[in-house]
Amino acid sequence: MTIKLYGFGESGHSYKVALMMRLAQIDFDLRFVDFFKGEARSPEFAALNPMGECPVFVDGDLTLTQSGVILDHLAKQTGQFGGQSEAEAREVLRWTLWDNHKFSSQIGMTRFLMNFLPEDKRPAEVIAFTQARIKAAYKVLDTQLASHTWVAGGEGPTIADLSCCAYLFYPEPFGFHRADWTNIDRWLSNIEALDGWQHPYDLMPRAFPVQA
């Protein structure tokens, strides 16, 4: 039975998982979630994921949510992208948690406020505040990548790279200028050069703007 992935183009968290499966050459069937029409808040979706979030990963009887859990599961199943040692696996988890706490979470929200809300509803003070916080996070990531090719510090890419990079490939403005961050820029180019890499909007259909 083919794996089902519930997600949509704009969801960076869905992209993390879709990209992992593309790189690991795992077939999956994308179930489009019409997010901006409120589908993730529907009772049907709540039955699938009470957290009300994409992605949701369904493989037969196994249903998983939270991109970090799905990535960890896929790394264990495929033996790929999980790191080469116990120490590297800990680094993978460390950066995945950091990404969830300080990076993708803040970027996803800021990008939403700046691009997917009507112009007159965009909270300027909140946007300025979160942009300043994300800037501190770019610096942490860029510093790590100044002395390491990959985020978790090993020989090859891991799910920590897939987690941290996802939102940085989107075209909508949220305050990130790739050219400003030399090490992040080189690292993103290395990810784009991986066999099978695809841009989020080539991998999953977009839900915005809302279709009538």
- Where does this chain bind its own copies (CB under 8 A)? 50-52, 64-66, 68-69, 72-73, 90, 93-94, 96-98, 100-102, 104-105, 123, 125-126, 129, 140, 143-144
CB of 97 to its own copies, least distance (A): 4
CB of 121 to its own copies, least distance (A): 12
Nearest by Cα to 103 from 54, 174, 202: 174
**Quick one: 51 or 210, whose CB is closer to its own copies?**
51
Per-residue burial over 116-130, b = 16 or more CB atoms within 10 Å of its CB, e = otherwise: beeeeeeeeeebeeb
CB of 21 to its own copies, least distance (A): 18
Amino acid at 189: S
**Quick one: 94 or 199, whose CB is closer to its own copies?**
94
- The number of residues making up the chain comes to 212
CB of 11 to its own copies, least distance (A): 13
Nearest by Cα to 111 from 202, 173, 40: 173
**Quick one: 19 or 145, whose CB is closer to its own copies?**
145
**Quick one: 30 or 89, whose CB is closer to its own copies?**
89
Given strand 3-7, what is the order of strands in its sheet?
Answer: 28-32, 3-7, 56-59, 62-65
What is the C-alpha to C-alpha distance for residues 158 and 192, in angstroms, rounded to an integer? 14
Amino acid at 118: P
**Quick one: 125 or 195, whose CB is closer to its own copies?**
125
CB of 69 to its own copies, least distance (A): 5
